[in-house]
Structure 1
Amino acid sequence: MTNGNSTLLMSRVTFGRTLRRLRTKVNHFTLAEVAATLACDVSLISRIENGKRVCSQPHFAMLMDLYAVPAGQRDELAELHATTRDWRQPWWFPYSEVISAQYERFLGFEAAASTVCEYQVGILPGLLQTEAYAQAVTGVGFNSLGPDQIEALVEVRGLRQRHRLLDTESPLECHYVITQAALDFQVGGERTHQGQLAHLLEISTHESVDLRVIPYTKGEQAAQIAAFRILQFSDEDVPDVAFGESVAGSLTMDDPRDLRRLHRLFRSLADAAYSPDESRDIIAHTKDKGK
């Protein structure tokens, strides 16, 4: 049920999704009916099904009996249940003091994902940023934090790049669409800007990176759409999840209707953008004119 990229979060999400299917599709129970049988709150069952709460061993045994799960499937679920209780620390654990709960949840999904489709309006995707560029945007985005905390968040971004793109045998398949404005914005000064564009030219040739630029002439396609990313997983039991960005922070979206709309939107944005080769030409031109 799980693959080599599974993390604790993804094990819980997969386990919870399986329990929800057993409850709704197989047995047609409501949350209230299950909660009454287990003598617990409805919120507990809901959080277990959403991967936000660990299912205790007694509750697991009661659910297996309630759902009349056959012996073979019960053994598989028992194995999956055991992985949800694995307390091995993820690579980002040393940074827990500066990582928000929402960001930690995103990191868990990204660590297990096989593909990302991301659209950015004014800044470059995190996995493509240089350290200096990341330092500049983090310093502005988190100006209430101290220098040490900002530095820690920059380190996290660098580790994300290493774990998911640069130093791994199974790199994340990255599909990026950005606006031409994101290339022109001078972030961190001229030297940082030039270094970032040079890095972008290099990393855009990575076999797992598909980078496309929407030109100014197609502004109506991109100007009114906020940044978002969709994460997809090789495990068919794990649904896609999306993260939208706004002034209020990051919004997690997992409703199938929202995901279908975002997939259509991303395809439309990619169609409006230049090809990867044409996009590299724009990056090179932007870099040359800044010299």
Structure 2
Amino acid sequence: MALRIPTLRQRRLGAELRRMREQAGFGGSHLARLLGVTPALVSQMEIGKSAVSVARLHEIAEACMCANAPLVEALADMARERDAAWWDEYRTALAAAPIDVAEIEGRAKKLTSFTIGIIPGLLQTNSYATAVFATGFTSLPEREVDRRVKFRQRRQQVIRSGETPYTALVHEAALRIQYGGPAVLKEQLDSLIRDSELPNVSLRVVPFATADFPGPSENLLYAEGPVPELDTVQADSSHGSHIFDSPAQLAGYRAILERIKAVALPENESRDHIRSIMKEMKDRHE
């Protein structure tokens, strides 16, 4: 059987099978003997290169004495996924990182983000997104900028559809950096206020005046899965995009986000704060 190039979800399913095996105290060869397969097949399943059927998943869970029924059923749902998603159309046109982010967002039950220097991608206007991509570390041709902006538009449907609850924690710095100039930022802030009134969106600002800012320096996306064990964190840094999913990492990021929520302004005060920034801009530039 030909080995596939695994998607993020397929890699995650494999990683959870590996965790299940390790929690049982088994090596790969021992689990292979229990299943009647080769150690190579166990390895391929655990890195996502070989498909895992629902029946095989249950065999592994039974062999590893996994009593976490909600987790096993959630993994079975992942194993059943066969249909291509909209982001699969872009796999030959874009790098893996933005595809992985779209996959995380598209499969999440609930999303929470924290951004410190930029408006969250899920809430960016086209003009703002264009300015962000055009002023990156490397100069991109116009057609590549356009492709990335259109991909970001597609990602935003997860919020525009109203299906996924979304909490956006935004540091005041992100509300003041003028990507594309004052007019672009004003349009973006106007749009941000409108989006904050969507029933599934909670926008909360972390103001400069916060006395004890507990947040990290990177932008974060926390995606809740069908069970807590399948939550995922995606973090941006100057070295690229990073994905975290170990229990310890998830617990740490949950604690960080709770601390940020504790100092962020309530929703109505956040909208008022954005309006005050817009008034400052108007007074300065008009």
Q: Same fold (TM over 0.5)?
A: yes
Cα distance, 1:187 vs structure 2: 1.2
Q: Give the distance between the partners of 1:103 and 1:56, measured in 2 at CA.
A: 25
Aligned AA (2:126): E
Q: Give the distance between the partners of 1:265 and 1:78, measured in 2 at CA.
A: 27
Partner residue in 2 for 1:165: 159
Partner residue in 2 for 1:92: 87
Superposition map of 1:250-289 within 5 A: 250-289=241-280
Partner residue in 2 for 1:33: 30
Give unmatched runs, 5+ long, in structure 1: 1-7
Please state whether the residue corresponding to 2:273 is helix, strand or coil. Answer: helix
Please state whether the residue corresponding to 1:231 is helix, strand or coil. Answer: strand
Give unmatched runs, 5+ long, in structure 2: 1-6
Q: Give the distance between the partners of 1:278 and 1:107, measured in 2 at CA.
A: 30
The number of residues matched between the two structures is 267
Please state whether the residue corresponding to 2:50 is helix, strand or coil. Answer: coil
Report if aligned partners of 1:179, 1:222 keep a CA contact under 8 Å in 2: no
Q: Note closer, same or farther for the CA distance 1:32–1:101 as it changes in structure 2 (3 Å cut).
A: farther
Superposition map of 1:81-160 within 5 A: 83-84=80-81, 86=82, 88-141=83-136, 143-160=138-155
Please state whether the residue corresponding to 2:138 is helix, strand or coil. Answer: coil
Cα distance, 1:68 vs structure 2: 9.5
Q: Give the distance between the partners of 1:77 and 1:221, measured in 2 at CA.
A: 36
Deviation sequence 1:114-138 (CA, Å, 0-9, x none): 1111110010111110000011111
Q: Give the distance between the partners of 1:239 and 1:78, measured in 2 at CA.
A: 9
Q: Give the distance between the partners of 2:185 and 2:61, measured in 1 at CA.
A: 61
Q: TM-score, normalised by structure 1?
A: 0.79
Q: Note closer, same or farther for the CA distance 1:238–1:197 as it changes in structure 2 (3 Å cut).
A: same
Range 238-247 or range 193-202, more displaced:
238-247
Q: Give the distance between the partners of 1:290 and 1:253, measured in 2 at CA.
A: 38
Q: TM-score, normalised by structure 2?
A: 0.80
Aligned AA (2:106): A
Partner residue in 2 for 1:196: 188
Q: Give the distance between the partners of 2:104 and 2:198, measured in 1 at CA.
A: 22
Please state whether the residue corresponding to 2:209 is helix, strand or coil. Answer: helix
Aligned AA (1:186): Q
